[in-house]
Amino acid sequence: MRILVCPHLMEIGGSQLNAVELAGRAAGAGHEVVLFGPDGDLVARVEELGLEYHRAPVEGAWPSRRNVAALTSLVRERRIDLVHGYEWGPVTDLGFGPHLLLGTPMVATVLSMDVPGFLPRHVPLVVGTRELEESARSRYPRVELMEPPIDTDLNAPGDTRRARSVFGVGDDDLLLSVVCRLTSDLDKAPGVLEAVAAVEALAARFPVRLLVAGDGPALPAVRAAADAVNRRTGRETVIVAGALLDPRAAYDAADVVLGMGSSALKGLAFAKPLVVQGTAGYWELLTPATAPIFLEQGWFGAGAGDGVVRLTAAFEPLLADAGERLRLGAFGRQLVTERFSLAGAAARTEQLYRRTVADRWPAAGRVRRLAGPAVEVAKFKAVTTSPAVRSLAERRRPAPAVAVAR
């Protein structure tokens, strides 16, 4: 098959990493794979995999007439058999472009924590959690569950001492690691700032340090918070590494990993205990007792109160008990290997592609089924780009000074 894959971003992050890695596996299985999307750090990973990459004319604005035209032209010229969009933006561009105009079969993947109601209802929709699968079925009849895949061969325990030396971490240090995009989306950056505060509270009793790997709009606020803690503790208690194109050393160096989504699963692949992050102060330790919760709702949570208090409580027993860290690390490695392997996800994706290519929609059916989504997308874009909404978003954006003071 000739396949076109469209990630919504090419910054380091879960959905787009999944798109690139599954595209690489499809190419390895003998398919001709082309990627189309914005510029970003992951373009280097695409090149490493030997995949062809086309830069989108317009970045971060969907639907885009220029992108629709470019996608349609590319699909026509390369005689693409199937297009696959990740997240709602590329899905709408592909839906109103090559799928509508050329009849190219299409797959949509949404790995965000909610599925918008304006996606085309007649194409297969892939989601990342059982909870989302169940809720999406009321609106989308062709829903597939594809839990975030992890390359458990590439992401596996290695030379931990060497990994720790990369960041200047000693053998006696207890290192907590978080790898994430530093943004307000899903409270990622606010959660990192809670981790900074929690580590400062624990530093009086444990030789604990925090490693933060990632980039984003909140990086200056995180650096400022780290500098303040380091001054008060008299050592580099918080290490801010910035963006790492290959973050494996950050996971392998850790005694405990914290995070959400694919980042959480990668921590498990390195046999590390995991504290799952969510919104509004949610932190929960992964154990055999709590695992069913995350297998149902995804590696995320919401609304749990004072995040610093909860995170400190989750860390304390782990920091005091090396045996418990080993037990939980082994449990997590086994879970991710059995349930979330990239090889299994690639095989299921290929099967989905073959079923989708065999089930083409006639032109009249495509027009009829895309009419409703076109109206809903227009309404959504009109609301989200209005001056009033932009002004409200600016007023609600947290000021760096407030975040640092925390």
pLDDT in tens, 294-333: 998 889 999 778 999 999 999 999 999 999 999 999 999 9
Q: Helices 188-202 and 219-233 meet at what angle, rounded to 10? A: 0
* 2-149+341-396 shares its CATH topology with 160-339: yes
Residues 6 or more apart in contact with residue 48 via CB below 8 angstroms: none
Structure confidence at residue 57 (pLDDT): 95
Of all helices (H) and strands (E), which one includes residue 85? Answer: strand 82-86
Structure confidence at residue 380 (pLDDT): 66
Residue 395 has pLDDT above 80, yes or no: no
What are the extents of the domains in the chain?
2-149+341-396, 160-339
Structure confidence at residue 365 (pLDDT): 78
3-state secondary structure of 205: coil
Single pTM value for the model: 0.76
Rounded CA-CA distance 340/150 in Å is: 6
What six digits make up the tokens of 301? 């949570």
Structure confidence at residue 104 (pLDDT): 96
Length of the chain: 406
Give the pLDDT mean for 198-216: 96
Instruction: Convert the pLDDT of each residue in 162-193 to its tens digit.
Output: 999 999 999 999 999 999 999 998 899 999 99
Right CATH for 2-149+341-396 from 3.30.2290.10, 3.40.50.2000, 3.30.70.20, 1.10.540.10: 3.40.50.2000
Residue 398 has pLDDT above 50, yes or no: no
Give the pLDDT mean for 138-156: 91
Of all helices (H) and strands (E), which one includes residue 90? Answer: helix 88-94
Instruction: Convert the pLDDT of each residue in 337-363 to its tens digit.
Output: 999 999 989 999 999 999 999 988 877
Side-chain-side CA neighbours of 28 within 13 Å: the count stands at 12
Residues 6 or more apart in contact with residue 51 via CB below 8 angstroms: 20, 23, 24, 27, 33, 34, 35
- As assigned by CATH, the class of the 160-339 domain is alpha beta
Query: Of residues 380 and 58, which shows the higher confidence score?
Result: 58
Structure confidence at residue 20 (pLDDT): 96
Residue 389 has pLDDT above 60, yes or no: no
35-61 exposure pattern, b = at least 16 Cβ within 10 A, e = fewer: bbbbebbbbebbeebebebeebeebee
